[in-house]
Structure 1
Amino acid sequence: MRALWSLALAAFWLGSGWAQTLTLYTSEILADVNALVEAFRRDNPGVQVQVFRSGTGEVVAKLRAELEAGNPQPDLIWFANPEVFADLARRNLLRRVPPTVQGYPLRYAYQGGLYYEVRLLYNVVAVNTSRVSTPPQTWADLAKPAYRGLLAMPDPNFSGAALITVGTLAQRLGFAFFERLKANGLAIEQSNPVLQQKLARGEYGLAITTDFGVRQEIAKGAPLAALYPRDGGILVPTPMAVTAWSKNPELASRFLRFLLSPQAQALFAERGYYPVMPGAPKPKGAPEQVLALGGVTADEGTLRRFSELFGLRR
């Protein structure tokens, strides 16, 4: 009876135009976002979630254009550029959501709950095992002649994860590392999904890319492996925040907290991500523990040098 009443109430809200609506701007994989949205809507009948999804660069550009026009739209933002979140926090444009979920690691509730990690992902070296029999062991190994013409990565102007990889490796190995990769034939694809599909088809032998995406391709039968280099996988911050201008801040906060629930954390693991909550199941085939390098976003000068080196449009 309760289920029937919930369905009837949802139909009434929708038919009357009273449905509560959230708008989410994100760089996350759309199929993964949709799975989470549908799980949230099952627990919140009558709620609609409108999603704008693109690469981090395009999401940030859209958000900045709306802010400059004085008409920002999203209730929630979720993408891989922590510096943008820090800037919005300085301008008092994020709503504080108190970190009240029991057991949540407080180091991921940035600035006391202005923005949150809701799951963890790493940039790794993905290997097509049918093309590469002796994989690299460290990030520096990628510049070895044995891997000439085999390696690709996404465009950091489009991919936030790639932007963080460029910043992290430039800081640790120097920008000359990318010059060596260029000389060794490093190719640039627009996005992680495009790159991972080409890697799965054997167009490349190696890729600098996201670990969860590699696991998703492996689940489809691709001959891939996710290699966490000995010097560490690059932890890619991809925070979520409720915006200060949100028309439905309480509902938006509920969605954020839902992503930390056992149900949502299990969904993340099923789709190849490391959950952020302790005790949640790990993704199938993933190491129990990962040596993590803290991700550093490439600054404007480093991104400009990288783009000029590889002839990328900005």
Structure 2
Amino acid sequence: MKKLYKVMMSLALVSLAAGCASGGNEQVKNANEGTKPVDSAKEVKEVSGTVNLYTSESQDLVNEMIQDFKKKQPKIDVKIYRSGTGAVISKIEAEQMGGAIQADVIWFADIDYYSKLAKKGMLEKYDSPEAANLDKRYAYEDGKYYEVRQIFNVIGYNTLKIKNAPKSWQDLGSPEYKGKVAIANPNYSGAAFLTLASLVNTNGMGWDYFSSLKNNGVKFEQSNGNLTSKLATGEYYGVSVVDFMVRNAKNSGSPVEIAWPSEGSVLIPTPVGIISGSKNKEASQKLMDYLLSTDGQKFFVKQGYIPVKGDAGAPEGSPKLDSIKVMPLDMKFLEDNRESLKTKFGELFSEAK
């Protein structure tokens, strides 16, 4: 009997164990069913398309920037039309007269023109998530266009030709620079036009300053890039030029240096905006996001630009922002005198037309 009892108990334990195993498997099955992957329809949509970018930015630097952008957005192509600010504006206006602007994104140095486009409803308001912590002064007209990095027009000089650094804009009109001073053509360069307007509108400067440059044999170049190259070779001793180009040339070993004029440097706004009605709006927004992102801002620093986000760092050799004296940019003066400035400049410098 004892033997039979032991056999029956053994069978009961086996049965119980099997039942528990079965119940456990069922619980595991139920648990797995309760953690099925989320429906793929909820995944973020990948953006694709082609963005037509019209810009006055340096060709090599904007190409580098777009290549870095495409690493993040490989399905977005960017077609670049690059020329001086004046030529870019002429292309936009010709296309507008022809029925439709072909650009999706614009990026050049004429903030007054952006303001005009915005007033006509021709720029798309975009609240970029990357602009959430951006200083409001860089989000123009509540996000219709944005500043993405900062450049300044300054004096660049060749350290092999000029031993005592210039301290004032007026120094470029001194005998030391006679026949060896140059500026960019304001009819072509947006930065040069803003510098023209700022200096003409500054007490103690005005058109007399540009007359002094004329008397000193001032030369003209179409672009800041040409100015920097000829400054590095010593063809020019001093030039009015954008800061990052001189900084990059110096860091590459050229005998050039930046002088920050006592009257103030000229801040050159170069906004980025999306054209209203763009057929590639989502892709254009992704490009804007990138330019304002930490990655984009750090890439600007790598290229020698001062970023609009302080946490991105600063380029080698750049001053602290709060140490830079800047001439005020009078937008009303710029708007009211755009054509008269061009006319007067053309009369004074017929060779620069």
Q: What TM-score do you get using the length of structure 1 for normalisation?
A: 0.91
Superposition deviation, residue 19 in structure 1 = 5.3
Equivalent-residue separation in structure 2 for 1:99 and 1:278 (angstroms):
18
Question: Which residues of 2 match residues 37-186 of structure 1 at below 5 A?
Answer: 37-98=66-127, 100=129, 101-172=131-202, 173-186=205-218
Choose which of 300, 307, 312 in structure 1 pairs with 2:339: 300
Q: CA, structure 1 residues 70+195, in 2 after alignment: closer, same or farther (shift >3 Å)?
A: same
Per-residue CA deviations over 1:112-161 (Å, capped at 9, x if unaligned) read 01111000000000010001111221122322233322210010111000
Asked whether the 8 Å contact 2:184–2:221 carries over to 1, the reply is: yes
Residue 214 (str. 1) matches residue 246 (str. 2): yes
Comparing both structures, which one devotes a greater share of its residues to helix?
Answer: 2
Question: Which residues of 2 match residues 164-243 of structure 1 at below 5 A?
Answer: 164-172=194-202, 173-243=205-275
The number of residues matched between the two structures is 298
Equivalent-residue separation in structure 1 for 2:152 and 2:242 (angstroms):
6
List alignment gaps of at least 5 residues for structure 2: 1-45
Partner of 2:317: 285
Q: Give 1:261's aligned amino acid.
A: S
Superposition deviation, residue 254 in structure 1 = 1.7
SS in 1 for 2:157: strand
Q: CA, structure 1 residues 313+141, in 2 after alignment: closer, same or farther (shift >3 Å)?
A: closer
Superposition deviation, residue 294 in structure 1 = 3.3
Equivalent-residue separation in structure 2 for 1:99 and 1:250 (angstroms):
11
Q: CA, structure 1 residues 295+196, in 2 after alignment: closer, same or farther (shift >3 Å)?
A: farther
Equivalent-residue separation in structure 1 for 2:351 and 2:78 (angstroms):
34
Per-residue CA deviations over 1:184-222 (Å, capped at 9, x if unaligned) read 121111111111111111000000001011122223321
Partner of 2:13: none
Per-residue CA deviations over 1:2-52 (Å, capped at 9, x if unaligned) read xxxxxxxxxxx9xxxx95111100000111111211111111122110000
Equivalent-residue separation in structure 2 for 1:263 and 1:226 (angstroms):
27
Q: Give 1:105's aligned amino acid.
A: D
Asked whether the 8 Å contact 2:128–2:285 carries over to 1, the reply is: no
Q: Give 2:279's aligned amino acid.
A: K
Per mean C-alpha deviation after superposition, the further-off stretch among 95-104 and 21-30 is 95-104
List alignment gaps of at least 5 residues for structure 1: 1-12
Greater Rg by CA: 2
Q: After the TM superposition, which segments of 4 or more aligned residues of structure 1 sit over 6 Å from their partners?
A: none
Q: Give 1:33's aligned amino acid.
A: V
Per-residue CA deviations over 1:250-287 (Å, capped at 9, x if unaligned) read 22112112111111111111111100112221111111
Q: Give 2:156's aligned amino acid.
A: A
Q: CA, structure 1 residues 283+241, in 2 after alignment: closer, same or farther (shift >3 Å)?
A: same
Q: What TM-score do you get using the length of structure 2 for normalisation?
A: 0.81
Equivalent-residue separation in structure 2 for 1:312 and 1:69 (angstroms):
32
Choose which of 65, 77, 80 in structure 2 pairs with 1:36: 65
Equivalent-residue separation in structure 2 for 1:152 and 1:60 (angstroms):
24
Asked whether the 8 Å contact 2:185–2:352 carries over to 1, the reply is: no
Superposition deviation, residue 308 in structure 1 = 2.1
SS in 1 for 2:201: helix
Equivalent-residue separation in structure 2 for 1:177 and 1:231 (angstroms):
13
Quote the RMSD (CA, aligned, Å).
Answer: 1.7
Asked whether the 8 Å contact 1:22–1:48 carries over to 2, the reply is: yes
